[in-house]
Chains A and B, each alone.
Chain A
């Protein structure tokens, strides 16, 4: 019975209504998803905690310290003249991630970078005396064997890029603010 009646009703209006209702419903559902997805992004308190100040005075040449910034280790190394020399001696164009040493530092003796291997996120060794430093005198990632030089550039192993340099500024000769 119902089939019979339905065949008599003009199909077009129902088709249009059906398409419109489906479209509106789909748009509504899609928009409603966004707040839930965005709730997983960093919250306002996380975003606000983005700077850390570091006193460099106690770090002697050849020493390094690790500070925590945005939940990650930041390597700060007081480089010796030899380390600077060896970093500068490399022809940047030959590197996997070409970058000259002076593009990675603000003051040659201070190397500041995020201590997270660009391969899969492990923390490379080389901060402490006695750590393996890899074939290029910088850092060595024990997880999958990436070697970084004294400028923190990738020289050997699976990592695709140099250790990242965060935004930082010298507040005085012996103090920096990261972030």
Chain B
């Protein structure tokens, strides 16, 4: 036992000079915590955990990312396709932003319900709101970095908010942009700030925890700790409970990351930024939707912006708006009702924010926006004055309140979440109905069908490649279609690419190598448009990810040509398509029965060919899918085991308290 003795001595030596260990022991081990905290108290540590995850994944992404308008989109796609596990790190970061907001919002609503903003915790509450504001700024700037269509136009719309400021508004916007539009200087500074702010957040989180440990944790009863019988040390009780919570949370996080990585994003952001074309339906990320709805509810530019910022700033005044001496909503029958109405109102605002600003949504948005402020500025002050609260228990240690309330709350929240989550695709699926197909890559274990991918590639090569580039796919990638290394070399060599300059400064032609990209049919976009009646055939590398409905949309489009209805007039050079937005598409129908002969003898009617080429395009957009699914299965199985173990340990540890 000399080694630990020596170690202790060494640690002691350090501690007497810099009390790091005492600090850790004081704030993470001995910290006296109310013994009655329910699971809603897990979300603070979850938010801290997510901050660490975001910083770590972000650091590794930053090592591969290029903050330049000409290269940002490509560098992100390189992370997705070429960097080892790059897809994993990026999807963890991308979905991590959403997860961070989910846990933070729940953490905030917990504070609202249990009155955690009331004395003596006002400063703690304000610091938390500062964290929220910093998170919003960071998330917004992070969304700009991939430099897709939503990045550019989101940045344009949000920075233009400041143009509402009287007199100096335009000057402020120009200053923010570093130019006359959102451009390279903007992207550069947003990258720098997006890198910096998380560390600022980390610093403010330290203040948040410091303030918490000074005034101590609130609890579901909202009454003060009366003595040592009311508290337990943070470790092991809450460390093990938090770890169990992290396990459950990670499972949810992984479901998104490994199976629905783009569910919470927008397909438009897989289209490279184009300052000449705005996407038809601009929507911010879901976590900004309630505020976006408030912005749009006001028909005046400046007032809208003020209302939106006020929606957050008014929360700073909560300690005075709600002056009731009773903290916990559990003992306030009317507050409880008002609280849940407020939660519903926030969800309504979020839903309205996702809908187009027209018709009933405008009215609903206005009602919900007004109610948001009525709740905070009118209902809360009135309630705190006139509400008859239920008697408070003597102490935390004595009556252990039934956990029914919390359980009911959890159920209500789960139902709301489910409604919103499943309503979201309904929002997405406006427009013509798509012909939903059953694809081999769907489901938990979904994989690609190599034979189908090869057939699809043949269709692309013989038909689509006459007009459409696929410049993010390299010949070397076609090994995934089941081609041998030799076959890939032969395939590449059957194409000629331009290389150079040579020693004389001349460009020259050479056979393509596996490391080359699929050659584009046109030297540039202008040539492509000139050859196609002014319409640009989009690059197909990401088309499946860049369209709402994904593979079903592409398949429906390819099979969606129909004779022009008598009452529809088409511009010259356009064709009638049932699923294309506006129905007038520039691409003529390209697939005909039997025009292609597959070496494996598979059917080559229009439907079959469309299905095969869609599969190929799906693979081109998500080449990592099979690896992603396989890793997801292993990860989630591991997490189930680890979380079950953590739960068993938690029960064991807590057996003494319950």
Contacts and interface: CB of A to CB of B under 8 A. Distances in A.
The SS class assigned to the A binding surface is helix
The SS class assigned to the B binding surface is helix
B515 A48 contact: yes
A13 B657 CA distance: 17
A68 B47 CA distance: 48
Contacts of A129: none
A9 B658 CA distance: 13
Contacts of A43: 64, 78, 82-84, 86
B85 A35 contact: yes
Q: Which of A9, A39, A43 has the most CB of B within 10 A?
A: A39
Interface residues of B, number: 35
Interface string A83-109: 000000000000000000000000000
Nearest to A5: B656
A121 B242 CA distance: 49
Interface in A11-39: 13-14, 17-18, 20-21, 24-25, 28, 35-36, 38-39
A115 B642 CA distance: 52
B487 interface: no
Contact of A17 (B229, B232, B648): B648
A28 B642 contact: yes
B645 A36 contact: no
A69 to B, nearest CB: 13
A39 B85 contact: yes
A25 B642 contact: yes
Given A25-B243, A36-B89, A9 B645 contact: no
A45 interface: yes
B656 A6 contact: yes
Contacts of A20: 645
A75 B202 CA distance: 50
Given A39-B86, A43-B78, 17 more contacts: A1-B229, A5-B656, A9-B652, A9-B656, A21-B243, A24-B641, A24-B645, A25-B646, A28-B639, A36-B89, A39-B63, A39-B64, A40-B60, A40-B63, A43-B64, A45-B82, A50-B515
9 contacts: A2-B232, A9-B656, A17-B652, A35-B88, A43-B64, A45-B474, A48-B476, A48-B514, A51-B513
Interface of A: 1-2, 5-6, 9, 13-14, 17-18, 20-21, 24-25, 28, 35-36, 38-41, 43-46, 48-51, 58
Interface of B: 56, 60, 63-64, 78, 81-86, 88-89, 229, 232, 243, 474, 476, 503, 513-515, 638-639, 641-642, 645-646, 648-649, 652-653, 655-657
